[in-house]
Amino acid sequence: MTDLTRRHLVYGSAAALAALGLAGCVSNGPAQVAAAVPPQPNAGPTPADDTIAEDQTLGPLSNARYVAMYSAVEGDRFPIPAVKLAIIKPPFRRQVVEYPTTEAPGTIIVDPPHHFLYHVLANGRAMRYGVGVGREGFAWSGDAVIKTKQEWPDWYPPKEMVQRQPELKKILGQLQGGLGMAGGPRNPLGVRAMYLWQGNKDTLFRIHGTVEPWSIGKSVSSGCIRMIDQDVIDLYNHTPVGTRVVVLGGPGAARVG
């Protein structure tokens, strides 16, 4: 198969993505999703309101506020180090922005071409976060729902990823759900993960933290949506199971679902 034909298949359909083993940054180990959270009623997202924005105004905050926002987090299961503000370009720092949309408050909208994630608030506003998204060949678009959430998630890379990156074998071990890496400070999924499903099907894509905050604002992942750990904690705390997630399209993005 030529590179051109392969690229056409990858970009042309979600089925091709799955068939080539390119969809998702994790595998669906048997215990991974079931153990993520206790069963919860799927009542749909709770509408976001002004309390999410707290005392933040539209636009970026002062450097002092941002230093505090991205400071070390104490009292979690593992230490969460501070993020150097210099590595987060100002547009990708958490901030409330004007964002008129027909989507209901509480919805998450991901804009991969611009590397932003919007958590829709009321009155034409949204909390905007910088994100890292799928690199060439791993870009996708579609609608999904957060079915489960997990703190300090275990990571189960797909077999195809291990084949592409055999060096991963050195850091993986046998867990309850298969070959993977237990949650912790070195885990690529960071401190929190939200699992994206379409109906009864796991997309294998996640919104999660990262141990590489310098990758925010870049297209580097295998399709997952990565966030700075402090930001993913903030979103996680304001996002119930059942939240609708819309991933917008872009050049070369395969439609999933």
Residues recognised as catalytic: 208, 224
**Which secondary structure element, helix H or strand E, spans residue 220, and what is its range?**
strand 219-221
Of 99, 98, 92, 97, residue with least CA distance to 69: 92
Distance CA 98, CA 58 (A): 7
| Radius of gyration from C-alpha coordinates of the chain | 18
Residue 102 CA to residue 14 CA, distance in Å, equals 26
How many residues does this entry show for the chain?
257
Q: How many helices (H) and strands (E) does the chain have?
A: 5, 14
Kind of pairing, strands 225-226 and 201-208? parallel
